Chains A and B, each alone.
Chain A
Amino acid sequence: LSRVRGAPRALRGLAAGPGMHFGFQSVTEEERREKIYQVFESVAKKYDVMNDSMTLGIHRVWKDILVHKMNPCPGTLLLDVAGGTGDIAFRFINYVRSIRERQLQRKLKQHQNLSWQEIFENYQEDRFNSLGDSQVVVCDINREMLKVGKQKAQHLGYSEGLSWVLGNAEELPFDDDKFDVYTIAFGIRNVTRIDLALQEAYRVLKPGGRFLCLEFSHVSNPLLSRLYDLYSFQVIPVLGEVIAGDWKSYQYLVESIRQFPPQEELKAMIEDAGFFKVDYENLNFGIVAIHSGFKL
């Protein structure tokens, strides 16, 4: 691992050089933040529906794979940044709950030689701990997305171990060394200063903590890449207009995917922030990639 990085790398953390991009337009940093905020404000209510229609429901599988890769054990503290509508958070809670149930079942099997009193006591303390002290904090910069997320949580019955915080990925409102896992699913593309976000991720993670990033990435296969482009530019904005009444936001979405650094570049950026054992896994031939790094 060569740690000597020259000047060109320092600029890599910016969205694209000193001038920012918003999709294929050129804007300043401030303008970009504004525009992105507005994009998500307007799509918030239809966000989930649009996700399903654009990716034909595959985004659920991608998010499932992310949580499986994380393989959290009960007692894990997760920070889900740009987690707006809570998809990752809910999956995390389900996963931890099922692991916890299996743990309890195993404990009960071993309890066959205990007295009734002891079994009762163990059962009591476990019953109130279905998550095993795991917690997830959902952080998003956009109030509308958080609102939608909270409503969804209420509707689906998630209340324990879940909290919602308004915050900027480039400047997280948390202390150092707090979280076991930091995830950012389909959010890092919208961050204006990716290097700052990665540094913040490093800061708030405990030593040994894991950084996981799920994001659209670059397809190297030329045939697939052409089909993907066709689908992205012709179909998605149309769906956006039809379903959400918002062509421009989905045009931005598709363009921002093209502007985002490819797998190797993002891996180098993550290493720059100080993470070790950085690796990525392509899903669907590179349409989506999961990057993982550890704070060692």
Chain B
Amino acid sequence: VRCQHCPPLRALQASAVLRRVSDEHKKEPFTSSSQQQFDRHPAGHQPDQEPQGPRPSYTGQGGQESEDYESEEQLQRRILTAALEFVPEHGWTAEAIAEGAKTLGLSVAAAGMFHSDGSELILHFVSECNAKLSELLEKEQKLVQLGEAEKKPTDEFLRDAVEARLRMLIPYIEKWPQALSILLLPRNIPSSLSLLTSMIDDIWHYAGDQSTDFNWYTRRAVLTGIYNTTELVMLQDSSPGFEDTWRFLENRVADAMNMSNTASQVQSTGEAVVQGLMGAAVTVSN
């Protein structure tokens, strides 16, 4: 049901009713967007539906349309997104979610839909950040493909990707330690771990990693280690613009690159040593 000028509040109030009448409305041919004043209430279906208080200026058309079908999850996501702006003040708590619900015109009791420790809020935030990072990397890749940008060397690419992702934490950096501790609760570990691994996988994918051997695992493990340690350093960093953190990151990425070089060097050295020993043995036996 497209009703671009109906306030979402009304949609929420009427949603129980909407579901039942939605079948009738679906059959009506949906006209072009020129029909702005779509009368959603023929024959007084809801004679007493009065909009409540200040209507949020919200043009979520996608949200409106799927209000009839996916309303619960979509609504929950909207509440969590709205709650993020209250996190610096209230922390990652049910209070922030309650404030978020209030801005959407809902009662503060809507925060009861979520856990009282704010886990869902944090997980939502992390998945949003990961999505933003993917978008960013996708855009960069397109530019490279179109030839408008240079392909970065691996270490620089990794460094930039991790930095971009960590910068998204800056507005919430004060309350982030609290969030990390909640993410480590046994209940949340499956979700937080899967979010972390998918993000690292994303970064390597866009870095051009196509390995099919054990390297796949080592690369991801190494990058996870770099990301986690840099995050922890960032939490304690008080330098202007987090310069210390970025320098730490640069060093760690360089270490990782060296390590892989060293590994291959060790391997070739080992092979050379073995050959030398074999030669010596043959000589001695002769």
Residues A263-296 near B (CB distance < 8 A):
274, 276-277, 292, 294, 296
- Residues in A with CB closer than 8 Å to B9 are 207
Query: Interface size class for chain B?
Result: 20 to 34
Contact of B112 among A179, A205, A210 (CB under 8 A): A210
- Asked whether A256 is an interface residue with its Cβ less than 8 Å from the other chain, the reply is no
Residues A84-118 near B (CB distance < 8 A):
none
Q: B20, A207: Cβ atoms under 8 Å? A: no
Query: Interface size class for chain A?
Result: 20 to 34
- Asked whether A180 is an interface residue with its Cβ less than 8 Å from the other chain, the reply is yes
Q: B19, A3: Cβ atoms under 8 Å? A: yes
- Asked whether A208 is an interface residue with its Cβ less than 8 Å from the other chain, the reply is yes
Q: A210, B48: Cβ atoms under 8 Å? A: no
- Asked whether A71 is an interface residue with its Cβ less than 8 Å from the other chain, the reply is yes
A169–B228 Cα distance when bound, in Å, is: 55
Residue from A70, A75, A296 whose CB has the most chain B CB atoms within 10 Å: A296
- Residues in A with CB closer than 8 Å to B6 are none
Residues A156-186 near B (CB distance < 8 A):
176-177, 179-181
A176–B109 Cα distance when bound, in Å, is: 16
- Residues in A with CB closer than 8 Å to B94 are 71, 73
Q: A206, B75: Cβ atoms under 8 Å? A: no
A220–B70 Cα distance when bound, in Å, is: 33
Q: B112, A206: Cβ atoms under 8 Å? A: no
Q: A206, B107: Cβ atoms under 8 Å? A: yes
Contact of A207 among B17, B95, B106 (CB under 8 A): B106
- Residues in A with CB closer than 8 Å to B12 are 207-208, 296
- Asked whether B127 is an interface residue with its Cβ less than 8 Å from the other chain, the reply is no
Q: A207, B52: Cβ atoms under 8 Å? A: yes
A208–B101 Cα distance when bound, in Å, is: 8
Q: Contact flags (1/0) for B63-106 with A, using CB distance below 8 Å? A: 00000000110010000000000000000001100100100111
Closest Cβ–Cβ distance, residue A71 to chain B (whole Å):
5
- Asked whether B281 is an interface residue with its Cβ less than 8 Å from the other chain, the reply is no
- Asked whether A209 is an interface residue with its Cβ less than 8 Å from the other chain, the reply is yes
- Residues in B with CB closer than 8 Å to A294 are 109-110, 112-113
- Residues in B with CB closer than 8 Å to A202 are 16
- Asked whether B224 is an interface residue with its Cβ less than 8 Å from the other chain, the reply is no
A160–B101 Cα distance when bound, in Å, is: 26
A105–B16 Cα distance when bound, in Å, is: 41
Q: B108, A75: Cβ atoms under 8 Å? A: yes
- Asked whether A232 is an interface residue with its Cβ less than 8 Å from the other chain, the reply is no
- Residues in A with CB closer than 8 Å to B267 are none
Known A296-B15, A296-B71; judge A205-B108 contact (CB<8 A): no
Contact of A73 among B52, B98, B104, B105 (CB under 8 A): B98
- Residues in A with CB closer than 8 Å to B13 are 177, 207
**Chain B residue with minimal CB distance to A206?**
B107
A184–B98 Cα distance when bound, in Å, is: 22
Known A276-B72, A277-B72, A296-B75; judge A209-B107 contact (CB<8 A): yes
- Asked whether A76 is an interface residue with its Cβ less than 8 Å from the other chain, the reply is yes
A-B contact pairs, 9 of them (CB 8 A): A71-B116, A73-B98, A75-B108, A180-B109, A181-B107, A206-B106, A208-B104, A208-B107, A296-B15
Taking A208-B108, A294-B112, A296-B12 as known contacts, 19 extra A-B pairs with beta carbons closer than 8 A to each other, sorted by chain A number, are A3-B20, A69-B112, A70-B112, A71-B94, A71-B111, A71-B116, A72-B109, A73-B108, A180-B107, A180-B108, A180-B109, A202-B16, A208-B101, A208-B104, A208-B107, A274-B16, A277-B113, A294-B109, A296-B71
Closest 3 CB pairs of A and B: A208-B106, A274-B16, A208-B110
